[in-house]
Amino acid sequence: MLSHSLFQDKVAVVTGASTGVGEAIATALFEKGALVFITSRHLAEIQQTANRIDPTGKRVFGRAVDVTRAEEVKNLFAEIEATFGSLHHLVNNAGITGPHNTGIENYDLDDWKRVIDTNINGMFYTLKYALPLMESTVGSEKNCIETTVVNLSAVNGIVGIPGISPYTASKHAVAGITQSVALEYAQRHIRINAVAPGYVSTPRINDLPPEVQNWMARQHPMQRMASLSEVSNTVLFLLSTLSSFTTGVVYPIDGGYLAQ
């Protein structure tokens, strides 16, 4: 069981956290004692989420950051360094799915670019500007033995799903970048892992017609979707010292989907 003080006073960033999985992860970090920066492209929306998680405004900070814009990402980590001087945990959750049920010959070029720019370039920028601060945190804080990253992939970052090839390609890229960068930092006290959820019961999914939700649930051998807490608990495990010998892993949270 994760201790309620496991992340006490640690500085964390969760991108794409205005709702759903990102909000659940940010909430879990907050409840375990962390100071959490959460981001979205939309300022009003992310501020509402920050207030919902932490009405005091003392430990959750909403920031408007478009991860496809390198300068905005760079400025976020410059602010964190200037304010706290450290960064202990990063969760790269920002991402978009793009159109569904669309064959590659019919896929719009602009939609392709938006998915790739958000899901791959956005993660690249975040890692590029976060990791130097995370490495310096280990070097400057006496009691900090490591810092950690979790990237959000998906089951179709491991196998293919027809009709959504750009999203599938981008989530495969998340897995590849995770493994490569984990090797780069394996001796530099930064662990970098990814999770690969199946279908998750998010507010957006819950707005879909019941027959669509039932279809999603049936894709997993457990015959249901993951709960938000099941995803956030796994992410916090990988961020924590409980997984201290784990790096470069893409960890499925899929109710048996990949075992089929």
Tell me what pLDDT residue 141 has. Answer: 87
Whether 129 is catalytic is no
pLDDT digits (tens, 9 = 90+) for 73-95: 999 999 999 999 999 999 999 99
pLDDT at 6 exceeding the cut of 90 = no
What Rg, from alpha-carbon coordinates, does the chain have?
18
The token pair at 176 is 């590849």
Per residue in 13-31, pLDDT (tens digit) is 999 999 999 999 999 999 9
| Span 119-159, pLDDT tens digits | 999 999 999 999 999 999 998 888 899 999 999 999 999 99
Pick the catalytic residue: 167, 185, 199, 251? 167
Q: Give the chain's domains with CATH numbers.
A: 11-200+227-253 (3.40.50.720)
Torsion sign, CA atoms 200, 201, 204, 208: positive
Contacts of 17 (CB under 8 A, 6+ apart): 23, 25, 26, 38, 39, 40, 46, 49, 93
